[in-house]
Structure 1
Amino acid sequence: MAQDRGLFERLKQAALDDWSAYIDHAFVRGLGDGSLPEASFRHYLAQDYLFLIHFARAYALAVYKSRTLADMRSAGRTMAALLDMEMGLHVRLCARWGVSEADLEKTPEASATMAYTRYVLEEGMRGDLLDLHVALVPCVIGYWEIGKALAARPGALDPANPYHEWIAEYSSPDYRQVAEEAADRLDRLADGTLSEARFADLTRIFRQATRLEIDFWQMGLDLAR
């Protein structure tokens, strides 16, 4: 198997149809041009807040499963970014609608939220550290790719776009660093020695997590059902 690309890029290419449907979903396009209904964004944002709580737990699991201090510190930095940077954005945006952080924590979980977060935690519990990070990476790096692509569109970062702050967050240098560290982490854990069978299994995990991302966007469009 060719080793000239990082593991993330190889996984993305192996699941390119699902990846494209994820990063160019109608929900994403609505963020970019401001046409996404506010009700859809508010529903998504509350569910994503709950989602991030479970993802922080997954990174805590990654700390536990790590065999080196470097891996522990890497997972810990990402967990801190989730708890402080990303969740802070959600709290700030929801406060404008009179929704407090306490209100967010009391929001009932949608089926798409439960399906995605429990899948990641299950893969992490039954697999090794690489399995867990492959399940996590579509979210971490996908949001960077989405934020970067949307920020390049004319008017996307204009204050007239109600979603400009969300786009600015996920296209920021700070978030880029989070995404780059996630990609580097995969390469370090894989260490360039993946067999065909191991890569196929990681692709299965990656593809399923990406499909659950698609479902999460669709939930935002459909609202709660």
Structure 2
Amino acid sequence: MGFSEELRNRSAEDWDAAVNHPFVDQLLDGSLPDEQLRHYLVQDYQFCDPFTALLGQAVASAPSLPSRLVFAAVLGAFASDENTYFQDCFNELDVPEAERTAPTPGQATRNFDALMRDTLGTRSYPQVLAVLLVAEWLYGDWAARAGDPATWPVESKHAEWIRLHNNPGYNAWVSWLRDEFDAVEPSEPQERQRVAAVFAEAVRLERAFFDAALVPATIR
């Protein structure tokens, strides 16, 4: 068993709860109300800055040019395809510019942002990989539940979010990221423990973020 599989199994309860979350159920069947999708996307967009910074730190910290080039390619794709999806949805859902760039962050958003930025500050390649891996692998797992694209929701605001996390290129990226994480498994016990803690916290916060997406606006 690789390090990634070991840590995923340790967090199986939170992982499975996130992958099979009611929010995901509604996204996959196209029944997610616009108000909740709008809130989710506005909050999720706030992670674009620290996530991009984490990818940049991975470029800087990677042990070889081939690994750096993988992260650089993902940075380019993230800046184009995913950002375009957000902007298209914001336009469709009438999200004003101020709410796109400077909304009031929910507690779950603040917590996940803090984890990303704290991890960025460590400059630890394994810890940076831990956060990136959870974010990408867990999303790939829930998106895989969508099955045959012919059964996906009709509206692009749902279907395109699935497609961005369920396609051959994305799946290959997640597999590569797992292999890279396993390859740099720390041998020093304290660093190994720190990486495991970051991984577990990222999984817990992914679940909490989906929980918050379904909380009524009046009590977020």
* TM-score range for the pair, normalised by the shorter chain length: 0.7 to 0.9
Q: Distance in 1 between matches of 2:176 and 2:84?
A: 21
The 5 Å alignment of 1:71-150 reads: 71-99=67-95, 104-126=100-122, 128-150=124-146
* Aligned residue identity for 1:209: A
Matched with 1:183 is 178
1:220 maps to which of 202, 208, 213: 213
Q: Secondary structure at the match of 1:150?
A: coil
**TM-score when normalising by structure 1:** 0.84
- Please state how far the C-alpha of 1:161 moved relative to its aligned partner: 8.4
User: For 2:74 and 2:149, how far apart are their aligned partners in 1?
Assistant: 28
Asked whether the 8 Å contact 2:140–2:166 carries over to 1, the reply is yes
Quote the offset at 1:50 in angstroms: 1.4
Aligned identity (percent) is: 24
Distance 2:2 2:91 in 1: 40
Figure out how many residues of one structure are paired with residues of the other and give that number.
Answer: 218
CA distance in 2, matches of 1:158, 1:212: 27
Q: Does 1:208 align with 2:201?
A: yes
RMSD: 2.5
Uncovered stretches (5+) of structure 2, i.e. residues with no partner: none
Distance in 2 of aligned mates of 1:218 and 1:9: 24
CA gap 1:205/1:213 in 2 versus in 1, 3 angstroms: same
Deviation at 1:152, TM superposition (A): 4.8
Say which of 148, 154, 159 aligns to 2:154: 159
Measure how far apart 1:93 and its partner are.
Answer: 2.0
Q: Deviations over 1:124-181 (max 9, x none)?
A: 32251011111221111111111111235983x1416862222222112222232222
- Cα distance, 1:43 vs structure 2: 0.6
1:23 aligns with 2:16: no
1:178 to 1:100, Cα distance in 2 relative to 1, 3 A: farther
2:204 is paired with a residue whose SS is: helix
Partner of 1:55: 51
Letter in structure 1 aligned against 2:60: Y
Output the CA distance in 1 between the equivalents of 2:73 and 2:149: 30
Cα deviation 1:179-202 (Å, max 9, x = unaligned): 222212212322xx6466654432
Q: CA deviation at 1:56?
A: 0.4
Whether the 8 Å CA contact 1:66–1:129 is kept in 2: the answer is yes
Unaligned runs of 5+ in 1: none
